[in-house]
Amino acid sequence: MARRWIVLVLCVPLVGCPAARKAGKRIMDEVGTSPASSASWQGYTVRNGVERLAVCNNGEPASWYLQAGSGSGADKWIVFLKGGGGCHSVEECNTRWEDQTHLMRPRNLGRDPDSEGLMSPSQAHNPDFHNWNKVHMAYCSSDQWTGDSGANDRNGGYHFRGSRIVDAVFEDLQTPKNTGRRDIDDASEIIFWGGSAGANGMKQHVDSVTERFPKARVVGLNDSAFTTVVVPAMEEVMRKGRQEMIEMMNPQVDDSCLAAEKDVMACLDWTYVLKNHVSTPTFVFMDQFDSNSLKLQGISGRDSTHALAFKADVRENLEQFDGCYSSVAGVHVLATKDNFYEMDIRKEPGRDAPQYTMQEVFGNWYFDRKGPKRVIAP
């Protein structure tokens, strides 16, 4: 279901944030009214982003991109939440600012976003979706797209407004005069998806998107970030991280989860939310040896007890989904890469068994074509 807002008191002066000190005079909200053009993408800054609280960690308005659809895809939309990890303590966020500043401030609108995989405009590479409208929301909030907290002493002077950014971009898309493009309210179909941290955001927002666009067919696509902890020692680490996230970021979670669980902590178990509370039809990709997930849990070697437990966990989690794709290649995030249409896997063991790409399987599921809609490598 939709998200339920949880309001906390905001904010201390922006200048306390180390990110804001570097930003200096770049905090100019009005710059968002003028698009920056490049190739097939049009880059935008959220309109009146500071007033609408749709800002990055450093307090500047977030940015996003639009690639206009055409022909049969003119009323169809793909909306993507970019991933990029996050931080769960002031110390982690300070380190992230020093090492990965680009993930905590607005993206340079002169740089094109991902244009491979599902986001490719090439009919040869992406025949089903090449001419759809495509939206890329650039990640700059370090909060899995869920936060709603202003800068304060408790969170180190950073802003965590991922949830506000998602809402603001959709609102801008629903006001076509702001972009010079067609109105997403006229959409007949919407694929709302994310990769890694973006997939976690997708889980929390997708039912709200379905409610926002009642005339459209809306589906979700979860690319990676779909497993549970298999190393017992990591349970406490994850619990502490979620608690710090609650205290620092005021995460906005799926409304039906919060209503049922009455506990924000439970609703920050991303896999649990998708399996038990998301009602929008969702296709799942998850590699059974996802490199990022294994690294986060300190797992090395595919033959280790924990690695095999991880594989079994992925397979079990996928059982309830009527559309899924699961490789054993150690891939983390697939649908933004050319592997979407180039990497193929077997559904059954044996060299002569048919092989399928994620592009084929997702297309079978989405368009209800003949052919496998669930392919899980043995």
Establish if 301 belongs to a structural domain.
Answer: no
- Cis preceding-peptide flag for 324 (omega within 30 of 0): no
Beta partners for 135?
66, 79
Report the half-sphere exposure of 270 (CA within 13 A, side-chain side): 28
Enclosing domain of residue 245: 14-285
pLDDT of 349: 85
Instruction: State the Cα torsion 308-314-318-320 to the nearest 10°.
Output: 80
Taking 50 as the pLDDT cut, the residues of the chain under it are 4-39
Establish if 20 belongs to a structural domain.
Answer: yes
Residue 67, domain CATH? 3.40.50
Q: How many CB atoms are closer than 10 A to CB 256?
A: 19
Establish if 218 belongs to a structural domain.
Answer: yes
Please count the structural domains in the chain: 1
Establish if 264 belongs to a structural domain.
Answer: yes
Say if residues 275 and 317 touch (Cβ distance below 8 Å): yes
| pTM (whole model) above 0.85 | yes
Establish if 309 belongs to a structural domain.
Answer: no
CA distance 23 to 21: 5
Which residues, 6 or more positions from 3, have their beta carbon under 8 angstroms from its beta carbon? 163, 204, 205, 208, 252, 253, 254, 255
pLDDT of 2: 56
- Phi, psi angle pair for 249, to nearest 5°: -115, -15
Establish if 374 belongs to a structural domain.
Answer: no
Closest-CA residue to 77 (of 138, 127, 137, 134) = 134
Establish if 371 belongs to a structural domain.
Answer: no
pLDDT of 1: 53
Residue holding tokens 């990965």? Answer: 100
Kind of pairing, strands 63-67 and 41-45?
Answer: antiparallel
Establish if 345 belongs to a structural domain.
Answer: no
Q: How open is the CA angle 110-112-114, to the nearest 5 degrees? A: 160
Amino acid at 233: A
